[in-house]
Amino acid sequence: MDDQTPKIYSKKAILGFSILLSPLFGGVLLYQNLIEVKKKKEAYMILGLSVLMTIATLVIVNIPENPKSSLAYLCGIAGGSIFSYYFMPKYFPNEDQLLKKSLWKPSIIAVIIVVFFVLLLIYSNSLPAN
C-alpha cells in the first residue's frame, strides 16, 4: 500500500458502534470514511440519514408505555446493517484492500459521552422532587 491509500473505519466497526451506541455513532464513522476519500456530498447525506435514524430510534423506543431497551438495539442493528451492508459496499467496493483506522479515538469519545450521560442521570435523580 502506498501513502495515498486512504485509511477508513471497517464496516464491522460501523456496525458495532451503531448497535452498542446508536446509528448516529456508526453514521459518523461512515461520514469520516467518505470525507477521507473526498466524497463530501455523500458524507453529508450519510450524516443526515444517521441523525434521522437516531430520531426514529428515540421515537420507536418511546412508543410503548414501558419502553424496552431491546428496541434500541434492534434499531441499532437495522441502522448499522444499512450503513455496513448497503452503503459501505456502494462507496467502498474494495474495502478489504484499504487500510483500517484504529478504533481508539472513537472508543474514547464514546466512553466520554456515555460517562457524561451517566453522571447527568445520577445527578438528575439526586435532585429533590418538587
Structural domain tally of the chain? 1
In a domain, 79, yes or no: yes
In a domain, 125, yes or no: no
In a domain, 106, yes or no: no
Place of cell 486512504: 6
CB under 8 Å to 67, separation ≥6 — which residues? Answer: 61
In a domain, 19, yes or no: yes
pLDDT tens, residue order, the chain (130 aa): 556 788 999 999 999 999 999 999 999 999 999 999 999 999 999 999 999 999 999 999 888 788 788 899 999 999 999 999 999 999 999 999 999 999 999 999 999 999 999 999 999 888 887 6
Owning domain of residue 97: 7-101
Gap between the Cα atoms of 18 and 125, Å rounded:
28
In a domain, 50, yes or no: yes
In a domain, 42, yes or no: yes
In a domain, 74, yes or no: yes
In a domain, 89, yes or no: yes
